[in-house]
Structure 1
Amino acid sequence: MRRACLPLSLARYSLFTANQRSMPRFFARFFLLGMLLAVRAWGQGAAYGDWQLHLPAWRPLGLAEAGNRLYVRAESSFYFYDKSLNTTQLLSRRDGLSDVGVAALAYDSASAQLVVVYNNGNIDLLGANGGVRNVTDLLRKESQIAKKIYQVQVYNGLAYIGTTLGVVVLDLAKREVRDTYSAVGPGGQTITSYATVVLHDTVYASTSAGILRGRISTAVNLLDYRSWTADGPTPTSSPARVYEQLVAYRGHAVTASTYRGVDYLAGVGAARRWRSVPNGYGNYARRLRVSAGQLLVAFDGSALRRFDAPTGYLADVLPAAAVGTIAADAVRETDGTYYVASYDKGLLRFAPGTTTAPEVILPNAPATALSYGLLANAVTNTVDVFSGGYSADNGVQFNLRQGFYEYKDRQWTTYTATSYPSPTGYPSLLDLSHGTRTPDGTLYMASYGNGLLEWKGVGQFRQFTYNTPGSPLRSSLPTTDPNYPSFVRVTDVAADPTSGQVWVINRHQLAGVPGLFRFRPANATWLVVPAYTGFENLDRITVDNFGNPWATRSRAQGISGVVAYDTASQKPFYFSTNEGLPSNSLNAVVRDRVGDIWVGTGAGVAVFNDPSQLVSAASQGTALANGFKLPVAQSGSGLFPTLYNETVRCIAIDGANRKWFGTPNGLWLFNATATEALLHFTTANSPLPSNSIVDLAVNDKTGEVFVATDAGLVSYQGSASVTDGAPSCAQVSPNPVRPDFAGTVGISGVANNAQVRITDIAGHLVYSTHAAGGTVTWNLADTAGRRVRSGVYLVLTSDADGKNTCVSKVAVLSN
């Protein structure tokens, strides 16, 4: 692909008419050849319209063991590990879940249900058969204080959920909240509950008012604070202890307090009292867990420990160096295998008898949910995600060194100082924000702090900054400032697809100093664009078909609009609302496949239809004949400028020149002219983890649309790709089509924007259409809208001239 998602125009063809029912001569020939020649047809791939999650599995926070499955809630994702298959699977709305952001988990073995509680209070019950039952009682519960979920424990068909609203009791069979014990502190004060445990006929709750207990009986009203009794260890020092961990172990209540150690309740009658574990002190009390007969204790910065009943002391199980700085949770198998949710190392598996060198279990996923910029490229068949960035509103750096990660052949590779600690392998640059690739596949990245990075692989890179010989890049700070080297701010880069030269924006906000440059990779030389007004404070950039750059002006400091530069005449052009922009607040600029320039603004989108005007006006010394125009689309009962009431943050162009728009309110797909809305995805009708879209990119080779949100990355299998060279008809998916399949069949690798006819094996026309770029999609319906019968169908395609023909077979199975 070219810059951040690029276009193509759909053309109309006259080879077929709607009422034709016979095949032209060339198609007849290919029909006969199709009967005699083997045609590659039995392919399998992602279904069109399907979604895939790319959420990080690093930083696990909690575990729930459910037979062969170990469920893991991580900071930005939720997944399970299948112990018998040694596989992982991310879970999301596409699997029937109702929400995102898992706060607590617990498994009820009696009903074979997993209780999933989300940060907002929504609850899902996952059954053994894969079914999901949603309970919204806690979600809908109004409160004057912010809801926060701590832990959930299951006992006798009830799930006790610790929250800032108190103890919420969920009936798993009835799937409803039975009670909420809130104002049960001393004198009826409202409590926060952290954890709950039931011993015999008594419920214990660790709360903001200490540990409270109440008797479970039909004769006792636990909604009345007088039914609860303070029953916790006596504080021995200030500040008073907060007991956030509470479990039952061998008939005893056991609790852990941050910085104050582990205590357990033992004895009967007058001897009943809380006793401290002598060596049970640590830092933050992260987790108490009873697993396979052991009481496991996890404090931050220390070994994973277990309670040794004969001695009454804690004994080390796994060393701190092995489990990481934060062992957020752990479970033990009966064979002695340990699974540890290490916040800084991932999900770890320690084989029986092993205390070092654990197996790291991670789904194939990026290292972080932070996705600031995206770049897809069909030549290298890669998608690169840049996890740095800066504030577009005020230009402030994020000061992140989280590198970038790359998706190729359905595998993610992370490039950071952690994965490649030697600076000769990977230079740990600040705030990688955007990127571009030259025709030979070389990746150029914009660092908002450390200049320009040319990347050809590990150990094969060049960095260009303020002190690189010949580099015109400069810092936004005075040369006398000691932080000067860390403020060489490159916001964006764009490669000219013809010359392979790279345009570079160096924002420094110093009036009268150049900020736009063209880099020639072959000899590492630079063209310096004169310091025209505003060129020191640009943001995003693309290159038109004439090699001229178009850039948005930064929104910082009240600067706005679009600038373009004609390289031949060295003349700048400025565009604002006076030249047709719907808003001077600019977020994105891209070139589509017919060469038009599209911009995303704070009030919809606009297009400059004929960039050749720039060349003509510059050479003739005349003003531009036209400015930007606003596409108009149907909205309700009227016609309005497209997305006129939306902030369009990013634009991507698919293989059919259709426009994908990212907004704070979801993802849109429009036709090639942006005059008709085709799709609108939000968290309500898709697996998007958030409605806030940050960036978009389309892989022209596959048609896959990558969507960066403020909560992580997902991709959507689009129906438009680009065929490079002669058509191959290489991929039919799914094939064969099973009786229960209700989706869309796709054939990729056909001639771009091809004419398509689908016939049965006898040559009777079933359906006709046009390809979207290099991909044909078919909903298995005939011209009358009926699902076709079982059989083998031929997909016959050609370009408008009847050339670049292709024949594919699709086998359809019906009940």
Structure 2
Amino acid sequence: MRFSYILFLCLIYLLPVRAQNAVGEWQTYLSYHNSTRSEIVGSKLFILANGGLYSYDKEDTSIRTYSKSFPLSDTEIYHIAYQSTYKTLIIVYSNANIDLLVNEEDIYNLPDYKNKNMTQDKTVRHTCFYKEYAYLSTASGILSINLKKREISNYYPLNKDVLACNVSDNHLYAATSEGLFAGLLTDNLLDINNWKKVSDDTSDFLSEHRDVPFKEEVPENITPDSPVRNYPYYMSFTGDRLLIAGGGHIANRLDRPGTIMTFEDNTWKSFQEQGISEQTKHRYDDINCVVQDPQDATHHFAASAGEGIYEFKDGKFINWYSMHNSPLESALPNEPWADGYVRVNGLIYDKENNLWMVSCEAQHAVNVLTKNGDWVSLRYPEIVKASNFGRTIFDKRGWLWATSSRIESGGVFCLNYNGTIEDTSDDQHKFITQFTNQDGTILEQLAVYCIAEDKEGIIWIGTNKGPLVLNNPSRYFNDNFYCTQIKIPRNDGSDLADFLLVNEAINAIAVDGANRKWIGTATNGIYLLSADGMETVHHFTEENSPLLSNSIESIAIHPRTGEVFIGTSKGLVSYQSDATEAESSFRESNVRAYPNPVRPDYSGVITVTGMVYDSDVKIVDTAGHLIYQGTSLGGQFTWNGRNKQGKRVSTGIYMVLAADSEGKEGVVTKIAFVR
């Protein structure tokens, strides 16, 4: 009885606090703006917007979103249709995959149409219902789905664009681009000869049976809080704020509307878009990066793929810097349209709060807007007219690194300006376009897409030939400098090894709190590698995870929670990692465990945050018996709630004892278990 009373007091003391996502949990952040279809489902309105699906309950005004994280099978929806008898919402994706959402909860995936080997266009134009069947008009025929059996029953190849269909008098009618055709349902409609043209004119049929995208108008102001567009081309964190730019410049412009978004405190905001082109008299598109003023959280600059840079205050446009009012230069200075080729990228602040940037194909490829508002243009002969300058970092020494991604002339530029921006006499600078690896092999035709510095000062660069590692970046200016391609031993018992991800184009690299590397590829999803790159901890693809696409564009890691934001070609998702940034020292106010208390129905891991780097952690009971021990990943430690024998611990209070790697500091927190 006395122990129960003590436990009760501890449970009161350990009141739950708002926790981050559980380790291993995925979140999807799709755009739900710009609705294109709606279906009435009882008291709810299901709405297709920007390729995403959400529902609005007209009675209680609640909103629910649906995504690949849960419960859908795929992403990028372009058609929905509802049949009330079987309470089934048909969901068709852009890749021709099909889901049936039954009773608003249960998902049945029908991948056969997606997997069907056919050269014809699979786009769905219209859906009609007859008995237990749904007939989907496509760009080349009619797809029949049995809603009772929840399976695809037939595909009738008409080899014509079917705009709409309907069943009448036991005939299936199809309005096509070549007239109105009909087939008797009792005939073999797989045989195109059993379809007869009944009219050259389809206007009356289409007038009666045309596709009606909106079964009910979508009310204003019910759009779920979400990104304005699914364009996570560039991402970075400033404190707890995620900054996203949705444009870009690869070989050519992406021609995306000017898109700048922030995500903070679970709230999405967008910068001004309307009216900017009217003020500048130029297009406002392809914003390829955005940066926040270190001294003013309401002040931002954004770079574009052709029109220079834009300045914002409180998300509102206040200034535009082009070739006409700044030292920024055009890639085509002698053309009439020169001011549409002021290609700027890589905005980054140095420690003195000066804003640096790089320009493509310019005489002065590096420009600085000082904290005093003055411009400084820097010319380095080796990068004059260099193409596709993109990502930049300042390393621990204060050196500037910039990547160039054009295969014909790609490489890495490094600048040590010795802390004197205007005095270039003591600058060290070098642009390497052909790296030599540790074996003496010259890597030619190298495109460099991204760059990152890890916790140990090692530089990782992502190329079209996998990741390259600069183990001694301080020697970059030496003539005998070389890079390292990590060799992974084969599992065939031989002494042979393969270069790490050598056949992958690496678009993004991020370093987590445990110094592990998140590697985003162009076509094969995202890898989590150990600190040295020798071990693959995870490999997430759209086939084995809620990842929206295998084409990764950007990665950003929340510095406090460790949530890994992954920008894909189809939108943004996140994964709650088991590593966070480490604290510089132990402070009990920073250390917390969640969930806490651990309820009987919880089977996931318990997470302890607020650790210093590589903390030694022990879990003990109130009698001091060791239950579990391990090492933190960065500033975070996870425990599965089991003892050394693998058994789930019993009801009680468990102490978390932590010390740094030298055992000099320690901290204690408590976890309560209820079984």
**Does TM, scored on the shorter chain, surpass 0.5?**
yes
**Deviation readout 1:121-141 (Å, 9 max, x if unpaired):** 322222227222222332333
Residues 422 and 775 of structure 1: CA distance in aligned 2, closer, same or farther (over 3 Å)? farther
The residue type equivalent to 1:669 in the other structure is L
Residues 134 and 464 of structure 1: CA distance in aligned 2, closer, same or farther (over 3 Å)? same
Q: Report how far residue 692 of structure 1 moved.
A: 0.6
Residue 555 of structure 1 pairs with residue 406 of structure 2: yes
Q: Report how far residue 626 of structure 1 moved.
A: 4.2
1:636 and 1:78 map into 2 onto residues whose CA distance is: 44
Residue 418 of structure 1 pairs with residue 302 of structure 2: no
Q: Report how far residue 411 of structure 1 moved.
A: 0.9
Residues 635 and 99 of structure 1: CA distance in aligned 2, closer, same or farther (over 3 Å)? farther
1:72 and 1:529 map into 2 onto residues whose CA distance is: 52
Residue 451 of structure 1 pairs with residue 308 of structure 2: yes
Decide whether the 8 Å contact of 1:727 with 1:751 is kept in 2. Answer: no
Pick aligned residue for 1:673 from 532, 535, 540: 532
1:586 and 1:223 map into 2 onto residues whose CA distance is: 51
Residue 132 of structure 1 pairs with residue 16 of structure 2: no
Decide whether the 8 Å contact of 1:41 with 1:732 is kept in 2. Answer: no
Residues 466 and 40 of structure 1: CA distance in aligned 2, closer, same or farther (over 3 Å)? farther
1:165 and 1:429 map into 2 onto residues whose CA distance is: 38
Decide whether the 8 Å contact of 2:359 with 2:365 is kept in 1. Answer: yes
Pick aligned residue for 2:381 from 525, 532, 540: 532
Pick aligned residue for 1:58 from 33, 42, 54: 33
Residue 330 of structure 1 pairs with residue 330 of structure 2: no
The equivalent residue for 2:234 is: 373
Decide whether the 8 Å contact of 1:586 with 1:601 is kept in 2. Answer: yes
Indicate the SS of the match to 1:662: strand
The equivalent residue for 2:423 is: none
Residue correspondence of structure 1 range 513-662 to structure 2 within 5 A: 513-521=363-371, 523-537=372-386, 538-555=389-406, 558-568=408-418, 569-575=426-432, 576-578=434-436, 582=443, 584-613=446-475, 623=478, 626-634=481-489, 636-637=491-492, 639-662=497-520
Indicate the SS of the match to 1:594: coil
**Deviation readout 1:130-170 (Å, 9 max, x if unpaired):** 22222233233322323222222233211112123422222
**Deviation readout 1:448-498 (Å, 9 max, x if unpaired):** 223233444234754433233xx43212232x64423332211212222x3
What runs of 5+ residues in structure 1 fail to find an aligned partner? 1-33, 184-189, 236-240, 244-253, 257-261, 265-286, 290-328, 332-338, 341-347, 350-358, 618-622
**Deviation readout 1:623-677 (Å, 9 max, x if unpaired):** 3664322233355445322211211111111111111111021101111121211
2:367 and 2:109 map into 1 onto residues whose CA distance is: 55
The residue type equivalent to 2:342 in the other structure is V
The residue type equivalent to 1:691 in the other structure is N
Residues 784 and 692 of structure 1: CA distance in aligned 2, closer, same or farther (over 3 Å)? same
Decide whether the 8 Å contact of 1:708 with 1:714 is kept in 2. Answer: yes
Pick aligned residue for 1:48 from 20, 23, 34: 23
Taking only the aligned residue pairs, the percentage that are identical comes to 30
Residue 685 of structure 1 pairs with residue 544 of structure 2: yes
Q: Report how far residue 796 of structure 1 moved.
A: 2.7
Decide whether the 8 Å contact of 1:697 with 1:705 is kept in 2. Answer: yes
Q: Report how far residue 429 of structure 1 moved.
A: 4.2
**Deviation readout 1:300-341 (Å, 9 max, x if unpaired):** xxxxxxxxxxxxxxxxxxxxxxxxxxxxx223xxxxxxx42x
1:36 and 1:399 map into 2 onto residues whose CA distance is: 56
Q: Report how far residue 433 of structure 1 moved.
A: 0.5
The equivalent residue for 1:112 is: 87
2:629 and 2:312 map into 1 onto residues whose CA distance is: 45
The equivalent residue for 1:493 is: 347
State the number of aligned residues.
Answer: 647
Residues 126 and 398 of structure 1: CA distance in aligned 2, closer, same or farther (over 3 Å)? closer
Residues 669 and 582 of structure 1: CA distance in aligned 2, closer, same or farther (over 3 Å)? farther
Decide whether the 8 Å contact of 1:472 with 1:528 is kept in 2. Answer: yes
The equivalent residue for 1:210 is: 179
Pick aligned residue for 1:699 from 514, 534, 558: 558
The equivalent residue for 2:337 is: 483
Residues 192 and 443 of structure 1: CA distance in aligned 2, closer, same or farther (over 3 Å)? same
Residues 101 and 42 of structure 1: CA distance in aligned 2, closer, same or farther (over 3 Å)? closer
Decide whether the 8 Å contact of 1:54 with 1:714 is kept in 2. Answer: yes
Q: Report how far residue 808 of structure 1 moved.
A: 3.3
Decide whether the 8 Å contact of 2:78 with 2:93 is kept in 1. Answer: yes
1:628 and 1:226 map into 2 onto residues whose CA distance is: 65
Residue 722 of structure 1 pairs with residue 571 of structure 2: no
Indicate the SS of the match to 1:330: coil
Decide whether the 8 Å contact of 1:729 with 1:807 is kept in 2. Answer: no
Residue correspondence of structure 1 range 295-314 to structure 2 within 5 A: none
Residues 50 and 225 of structure 1: CA distance in aligned 2, closer, same or farther (over 3 Å)? same
1:439 and 1:540 map into 2 onto residues whose CA distance is: 19
Decide whether the 8 Å contact of 1:582 with 1:601 is kept in 2. Answer: no
Residue correspondence of structure 1 range 336-485 to structure 2 within 5 A: 339-340=216-217, 348-349=218-219, 359-378=220-239, 381-391=240-250, 394=251, 396-418=252-274, 429-440=284-295, 441=297, 443-459=300-316, 461-468=318-325, 471-478=326-333, 481-485=335-339
Decide whether the 8 Å contact of 1:516 with 1:536 is kept in 2. Answer: no
The residue type equivalent to 2:290 in the other structure is G
2:459 and 2:264 map into 1 onto residues whose CA distance is: 29
Q: Report how far residue 51 of structure 1 moved.
A: 1.3
Residues 535 and 48 of structure 1: CA distance in aligned 2, closer, same or farther (over 3 Å)? farther
Q: Report how far residue 799 of structure 1 moved.
A: 2.6
Residues 472 and 787 of structure 1: CA distance in aligned 2, closer, same or farther (over 3 Å)? same
The equivalent residue for 1:800 is: 661
Decide whether the 8 Å contact of 1:41 with 1:810 is kept in 2. Answer: no
2:590 and 2:490 map into 1 onto residues whose CA distance is: 38
1:762 and 1:194 map into 2 onto residues whose CA distance is: 75
1:55 and 1:36 map into 2 onto residues whose CA distance is: 38
User: For the pair shown, which has the larger CA radius of gyration, 1 or 2?
Assistant: 1
Q: Which moved more, 1:415-424 or 1:717-726?
A: 415-424
The residue type equivalent to 1:433 in the other structure is N
Indicate the SS of the match to 1:64: strand
Residues 805 and 39 of structure 1: CA distance in aligned 2, closer, same or farther (over 3 Å)? farther
Residues 771 and 151 of structure 1: CA distance in aligned 2, closer, same or farther (over 3 Å)? same
Indicate the SS of the match to 2:382: coil
